[in-house]
Amino acid sequence: MKMKNKIKIIILICFACILLVFIGYRYHKMNSGIPQEFKNEVFNVNEEVKLDNINIKITDFKLINNKGTSTININFYIKNVGNNDVNISDLVYDSKILYKNIIIDVPCNVEDREDNIVKCKSEKNITLSYKFPYESIEDNIKFYPTKKLYKNQIKEYIENHLLMCEKAIEIGYENIKNIN
């Protein structure tokens, strides 16, 4: 009887080892194509950010202090480098501003308009305004263009480098022009 119990225990241990090897193999196989690192490209004001079909650059910004809130007006230079007209509604409506722990994702001066098209090989300047629930700005602000505008670059990073990619333009608070 003892011999039969030892054989059963040995078979169970072998089965458990095979099961663990199989689970480890599946885990590795499933996670082998998933990015393990994150690349955050941070640009400065007046640096051109290359997206899929457009290049953008923050050319100027001003901070307006109100009672209990602040508004930042950001001027963008947009250049269409593609062969087709580009609708920049995604840039206007889906991009985000990050200040401290607050994400502001909708500019306050946007109305539906037809001039969100940038013609092939042309340029455009736009101004977006964002409101902050602070009376003064004491830290850097980051503008994150929507990933919809550089999804081909993200796909390339994932396929070639196993990296996730995000782009941001940093507005240094020491450079913000205060208007009271």
**Distance (Å) of CA 180 to CA 12, 69, 139:** 77, 11, 18
Range of the domain at 22: 1-32
pLDDT top residue among 64 and 56:
56
Same domain, 70 and 15: no
The whole-number average pLDDT for the span 56-84 is 87
**What mean pLDDT comes out for the span 5-20?**
90
Same domain, 20 and 42: no
What lies within 8 Å, CB to CB, of 153 at 6+ separation is: 51, 52, 165
The residue type at 157 = Y
The one-character DSSP state at 162 is -
At 179, the pLDDT band (50, 70, 90 cuts) reads very low
Please give the distance of CA 44 from its chain centroid, rounded to a whole number. Answer: 15
Structure confidence at residue 180 (pLDDT)? 46
Specify the higher pLDDT residue, 65 or 53. 53
- On whether both 16 and 65 belong to a single domain, the answer is no
CATH code for position 139: 2.60.40.1240
Which tens digit of pLDDT belongs to each residue from 114-153? Answer: 678 888 888 988 888 888 877 667 778 889 998 888 888 8
Q: Hey, is 47 helix, strand or coil? A: coil
| Same domain? 147 vs 94 | yes
Q: Is the same domain home to 132 and 170?
A: yes
* Chain length of the chain: 180
- Say yes or no: 50 and 23 in one domain: no
Question: Residue holding tokens 């205060």?
Answer: 178
The more confident residue out of 157 and 96 is 96
Does residue 108 share a domain with residue 94? yes
- Is-contact 101 133, C-beta < 8 A? no
Q: Are residues 47 and 98 in the same domain?
A: yes
| Number of domains composing the chain | 2
Mean pLDDT across the stretch 67-90? 87
Regarding whether 145 and 74 lie in a shared domain, the answer is yes
Q: Name the amino acid, one letter, at 6.
A: K
| 154 and 111 both lie in a single domain | yes
On whether both 6 and 53 belong to a single domain, the answer is no
Terminus-to-terminus CA distance in the chain, angstroms? 92
Mean pLDDT on 56-78: 86
Tell me: do 175 and 135 sit in the same domain. Answer: yes
